[in-house]
Amino acid sequence: MDQMTLVRDRSDALYEPVSRLMTREDWERNFADDIRAILRLKRERNAVILAHNYQTPEIFHCISDIRGDSLALAREAQNLDQQVIVMAGVHFMAETAKLMNPQKTVLIPDSMAGCSLAESITATNVRAFKAAYPGVPVVTYVNSSVAVKAETDICCTSGNAKKVVESLGVPRVIMIPDEFLAKNIQNETGIEMLTWPGHCEVHERFTPLEIRQYRRMHPGVVVLAHPECPPEVVAEADYAGSTAGMMEFVAVKQPQKVLLVTECSMSDNLAALNPAVEFVRPCNLCPHMKRITLASIRRALETMEEEVTIPDELFAPARRAVERMLAV
Ligand code: 13P
Ligand code: SF4
């Protein structure tokens, strides 16, 4: 086989996972050059790319090695062989990967990729909250800074929040910073939640009226909602779960038509994997997740910036809160 044939065959295999979402010409014009460069750089740098389910399809399907929800990314971060970890996700996810890999280089392609939940609360806020309710355990959603995690008894994600809260065996917990996740878990478990008024700027925008309108326009549509949505929205859904939970639901049940009440790229990524399922697409983009692009990932691998660091004094307590979660 000559060199040209080799290159072509390899690029065909790279295009195939997104072939249902874009034409070959679009892929070649807009993405192929960065994708080939990133794959080369990954080998040269001994790097691994972790991608959250909200990443765009060309990142999710064409260059990432490990994909998943926050829980899967935190779990997988414990078992990596490579020396360099690139987080195609938001900053708190990169911090969690660093907590699990203190000796490795963790890169975030854009350090401005934040999260409205993580930004809603500080360590000082948590200390004041704890002082007002002495003895009540603090469960912190992983969508938070390391400084906040360091003040915490145990972390949780949307994928394990119920299990984590129930594992504490108490009637009342402080659950921060997502008010809606806490209220949704309170509804599921009956355990009283002392909450913080933090919201996800993507999920707080969905309304029950909007879901009812989609149901009228698309009779029979199956509605899946993320638990960061307000409880009144979750009450309108057929299922509520983490991004990985939604993916599994669609993969296993293969509903004819589905509405994902969450970030837009989830529908694109799932459409590529489930050709028999029709996706109704309400489009709420996470501007933080969308800061991560092929270009920024390529630049991160070329320059080895920006590296995630964690202050020494926060490291042990923040890691303990994540490890406790992973042990549940
Ligand atoms: P998941 O853990 O369900 O993937 O959610 C992370 C997130 O940021 C949702 O907005
Ligand atoms: Fe944060 Fe919401 Fe974006 Fe997830 S979707 S990273 S919770 S702002």
| Predicted pLDDT of residue 5 | 45
Phi-psi region of 9 (alpha: psi -120 to 50; beta: other; left: phi over 0): alpha
Domain boundary among 200, 215, 238: 200
Q: What percent of the chain has pLDDT over 70?
A: 97
Q: How far is the CA of 283 from the centre of ligand 2 (A)?
A: 14
Instruction: Give dist(CA 257, CA 168) in Å, integer.
Output: 38
Q: Is residue 161 part of a domain?
A: yes
Closest CA to 89 of 21, 131, 168, 143: 143
Given a contact cutoff of 8 angstroms between Cβ atoms, the answer to whether 283 and 119 are in contact is no
Instruction: Choose the residue to mutate in 108, 148, 203 for probing ligand 2, maximizing ligand atoms within 8 Å of C-beta.
Output: 203
Task: Report how far apart the first and last C-alpha atoms of the chain are (Å, whole number).
Answer: 52
Are 8 and 96 in the same domain? yes
The tally of domains found in the chain comes to 3
pLDDT, tens digit, 9 for 90 and up, residues 289-324: 999 999 999 999 999 999 999 999 999 999 999 999
The b-or-e profile of 6-29 (16+ CB within 10 A means b, else e) is eeeeebeebbebbeebbeeeebee
Q: Is residue 237 part of a domain?
A: yes
| Predicted pLDDT of residue 12 | 75
Q: What percent of the chain has pLDDT over 90?
A: 95
Q: Is residue 320 part of a domain?
A: no
Are 189 and 216 in the same domain? no
Residue nearest to atom 7 of ligand 1 (CA): 70
Domain boundary among 200, 232, 260: 200
Q: Is residue 317 part of a domain?
A: no
With a cut of 50, say whether residue 246 has pLDDT above it.
yes
Phi-psi region of 38 (alpha: psi -120 to 50; beta: other; left: phi over 0): alpha
With a cut of 80, say whether residue 238 has pLDDT above it.
yes
Determine the structural domain holding residue 193 and report its residue range.
118-200
Are 92 and 124 in the same domain? no
Q: Which ligand is nearest to the CA of 90?
A: 2
Question: In the structure encoding, which two tokens stand for residue 57, read together?
Answer: 């399809």
Contact 117 CB / ligand 2 (< 6 Å): yes
Are 134 and 146 in the same domain? yes
With a cut of 60, say whether residue 4 has pLDDT above it.
no
Average pLDDT of the residues in 206-217: 97
Contact 118 CB / ligand 1 (< 6 Å): no
| Predicted pLDDT of residue 283 | 78
Residue 327 DSSP SS3:
helix
pTM: 0.94
DSSP 103: T
β-bridge partners, 67: 51
| CATH code, 104 | 3.40.50.10800
Q: What is the mean pLDDT of the chain?
A: 95
Are 110 and 85 in the same domain? yes
Contact 110 CB / ligand 2 (< 6 Å): no
| Predicted pLDDT of residue 1 | 41
Contact 90 CB / ligand 2 (< 6 Å): yes
Are 14 and 103 in the same domain? yes
Are 96 and 15 in the same domain? yes
Q: Is residue 308 part of a domain?
A: no
Contact 266 CB / ligand 2 (< 6 Å): no
With a cut of 80, say whether residue 94 has pLDDT above it.
yes
Average pLDDT of the residues in 66-92: 95
Q: Is residue 316 part of a domain?
A: no
Domain boundary among 200, 223, 249: 200
